[in-house]
Amino acid sequence: MSDNHGNTPAAWSAVTLGLVGFVVGAVGLMLSPINYTVFWVGIALVVAAGLVYAVMGKMGMGSSH
């Protein structure tokens, strides 16, 4: 098991951005009528979270193994 248990800048950034994306998407679905633009912005943020993790990991800010 890793010594850092996922406590890396890459992981924290990705999780924070992913949570924001889920909240934005949920708000878009709860608006009446449903606001698909806000929903898709949330989806884009979740996808961006994965990209942020990958890029930061390649920059050496992720786990070492």
The answer to whether residue 3 sits within a structural domain is no
The answer to whether residue 45 sits within a structural domain is yes
The answer to whether residue 1 sits within a structural domain is no
Question: Rounded to an integer, what distance in angstroms lies between the CA atom of residue 15 and that of residue 53?
Answer: 9
The answer to whether residue 16 sits within a structural domain is yes
pLDDT digits over 2-53, tens only?
Answer: 566 778 899 999 999 999 999 999 999 999 999 999 999 999 999 999 999 9
Question: Taking the alpha carbons of 57, 50, 52, 3 in that order, is the dihedral positive or negative?
Answer: negative
What is the domain extent for residue 40? 9-61
The answer to whether residue 51 sits within a structural domain is yes
pLDDT digits over 1-11, tens only?
Answer: 556 677 889 99
The answer to whether residue 48 sits within a structural domain is yes
The answer to whether residue 18 sits within a structural domain is yes
How many structural domains compose the chain? 1
